[in-house]
Every structure is written in C-alpha cells, then in structure tokens.
Structure 1
Amino acid sequence: MAENFFGHLKEELFHHNTFDTITEFTEALEEYSDWYNTIRVSTTFKGLSPVEYRAETLAA
C-alpha cells in the first residue's frame, strides 16, 4: 500500500514540478496529501473519495 502511494506521489508531484525551496516543496506535499486523501476519486472505492468511502463504510 505504501509503495503504491509513493509511486503515485513521485509520478504526480515530483516528475511534473520543480521546487526552489523546502517551503515550496512542503506546501506542495501537504496539498497533494490532502487531495489524495479527501478529493481524489477512486474506482476501487466505487467512485468515491477515500474519505467518503470510509464514512460510508463506518455508517453501514
């Protein structure tokens, strides 16, 4: 699971951006992490974001 996340992180964040400062990198990493966990739609999760899927699962 971690290897999958880091593969996506490298492909979607590192390979398409350059960062001039650690602050820029940290901000981009935080934004990516937030997007990955709360907004990203996944077919594995029936078209829901991870947060929506967890909420649905817990409500059941």
Structure 2
Amino acid sequence: MQNKIIRVLLLLTVVVSLTGCSVIEGIFKAGMGVGIFIVIAVIAIILFVVSKLFGKK
C-alpha cells in the first residue's frame, strides 16, 4: 500500500514539474519576442532622429 502511494506521489511530482517547465518556457519566449521588438523600435527611433538632424532641410 505504501509503495503505491510513493509511486503516485512520484508521478504527480513529475507531471507538475514538467508542466511548470513548459510554462516557464512560454514566458521566456514571450519575453524574448518583446525584447526583440523593443530593440528594433529603439533602433528605428534613433535612425529617425539622426535622419532628421542630418537630413536635408
């Protein structure tokens, strides 16, 4: 009886830890996408400002 309880608890621990890893993976993927977007936006703003400063008037 105690052996079955240990197996069920072990299985439950594995299932919970695997779903937790996939959740963390999704968070990091979303964070990476947002980070790339912000970097591109900042570069675009810098290029816009530089073109306005040194462009033809």
TM-score of the pair, normalised by structure 2: 0.37
Question: Using CA pairs below 8 Å that are at least 6 residues apart, which structure has the higher relative contact order?
Answer: 1
Computing the radius of gyration from Cα coordinates, the structure with the larger value is 2
TM-score of the pair, normalised by structure 1: 0.36
